[in-house]
Amino acid sequence: MTFIHCVKMHPAKIKQQFGSKLKSLSASQSPHRVFSDWLEIAAITLHQLPYHSGELAKDTAFETLEAQYMERVKAYSREKLNSFSEMLSLLILAHNGSYSDFLGEIAGEYELLNKRVGQFFTPYHLCRLLAKVSVGNVRSLVEEKGIVTVCEPAVGAGGLVIATAEEAASQGVDPCAYMQFDCTDVSRDAFNMAYIQLSALGLQAIVRHGNTLSDEYWEHRPTPQLRMFEQWLAPRRKAQQLVQAMQSILAGTSAAEPEACDSLPAYEKSSGQTLFDLEQFAGESLTRKRSPQKLDVVLDRQMDLFG
């Protein structure tokens, strides 16, 4: 893979370079086909990174997506795949230290959206406004709950989620550490766009390809950061359970009624209340239904449009 060196480039320049690569790849195929294939390949590439770096042990999710990746790249020459890698590098540059809906804007400008399923993405400055109204005081939510969970039932390319993360950052809360997002879109391209952008920004999320209204889900994919966080949390969770069990024994209470452990940091106090049970995603159940858990913030104002 040829990654572009990590230099600071003007966002308009990044967009222009991304667009001209997309155009030159579309000389012999429809731009929509090329864009969709790039989205599939880029999303899988990001998912597989922690496996290739040895941070995660290879599992069924890895093998399934690796097979899909190999199938998808078959149609492209080495030269075209190099251009795909450069487009992914540009995307990562675009999200390096700045929040934006890069792919949503690209898809809009190059007319790659499916208007039949209501794909018109909210301009990013409006997403910022909506996020401010929806999320309120993130800092006090984090103090109360440890991790703030956010549901986006029609995620598009992820504009509203990204704006919510930016809102948290503007309040001095690191969204990568203290927020978890549960996002769905019925469109395969939108599912991939959201997955790519949220992963590139280092956010913890499950992105689902599914229909929020009929409650059908075809694929759930955790971002690498969510997998890493859960991996880091697992032994701490076990240690906490052990401490609680010992406290119960010493106090003569049942293990089912553990006492609060006030010395733990907020996110560990909330153990068990993080949004996702990651074990289900590492196994064969990429298609399992979503949990009915109640989330702290629901970005659902737009759902009335599709009812």
Q: How many residues sit in the footprint of ligand SAM (CB under 6 A)? A: 23
Residue 120 within binding range of ligand SAM, rule CB under 6 A: yes
How far is Cα 95 from Cα 12, in angstroms, rounded to an integer?
Answer: 13
Instruction: List the interface residues with ligand SAM, window 23-82 (CB under 6 A).
Output: none
Residue 270 within binding range of ligand SAM, rule CB under 6 A: no
Q: Which residue is nearest to ligand SAM (CB)?
A: 156
Residue 155 within binding range of ligand SAM, rule CB under 6 A: yes
How far is Cα 42 from Cα 21, in angstroms, rounded to an integer?
Answer: 15
Q: How far is the CB of 98 from ligand SAM (least distance, A)?
A: 17
Part in contact with ligand SAM (CB under 6 A); list of ranges 49-57, 136-144, 152-160, 233-241: 152-160
How far is Cα 128 from Cα 107, in angstroms, rounded to an integer?
Answer: 19
Write the interaction track for ligand SAM spanning residues 78-107; mark x where CB under 6 A is met and - where it is not.
--------------------------x---
CA distances from residue 68 to 48, 63, 124 in whole angstroms, order as listed: 12, 9, 32
Q: Which residue has the tokens 């075809």?
A: 218
Q: How far is the CB of 16 from ligand SAM (least distance, A)?
A: 22
Q: How far is the CB of 12 from ligand SAM (least distance, A)?
A: 20
Q: How far is the CB of 124 from ligand SAM (least distance, A)?
A: 8
Among 17, 199, 212, 271, binds ligand SAM (CB under 6 A): 212
The DSSP code sequence of the chain is --PPP-----HHHHHHHHHHHHHHHTTSS-HHHHHHHHHHHHHHHHHHHHHHTTSS---HHHHHHHHHHHHHHTTS-HHHHHHHHHHHHHHHHHTSS----HHHHHHHHTT---GGGT--PPPHHHHHHHHHHHH--HHHHHHHHSSEEEEESS-TTSHHHHHHHHHHHHTT--HHHHEEEEEEESSHHHHHHHHHHHHHTT-EEEEEEEETTTTEEEEEEE-HHHHHHHHHHHHHHHHHHHHHHHHHHHHT--TTSPPP-TTS-HHHHTTT-SS--THHHHTT-TTPPPP-PPPSEE--GGGGGG-
Among 122, 149, 204, 271, binds ligand SAM (CB under 6 A): 122
Residue 154 within binding range of ligand SAM, rule CB under 6 A: yes
Residue 160 within binding range of ligand SAM, rule CB under 6 A: yes
Residue 195 within binding range of ligand SAM, rule CB under 6 A: no
CB nearer to ligand SAM: pick between 47 and 209 = 209
Among 22, 103, 112, 186, binds ligand SAM (CB under 6 A): 186
Q: How far is the CB of 62 from ligand SAM (least distance, A)?
A: 27
Q: How far is the CB of 214 from ligand SAM (least distance, A)?
A: 7
- CA-based radius of gyration for the chain: 20
CB nearer to ligand SAM: pick between 181 and 281 = 181
Among 117, 239, 246, 261, binds ligand SAM (CB under 6 A): 117
Residue 218 within binding range of ligand SAM, rule CB under 6 A: no
How far is Cα 71 from Cα 131, in angstroms, rounded to an integer?
Answer: 38
Part in contact with ligand SAM (CB under 6 A); list of ranges 208-216, 224-232, 241-249, 257-265: 208-216
Write out the residues near ligand SAM by the rule CB under 6 A: 104, 117-122, 127, 154-156, 159-160, 184-187, 190, 211-213, 302, 306
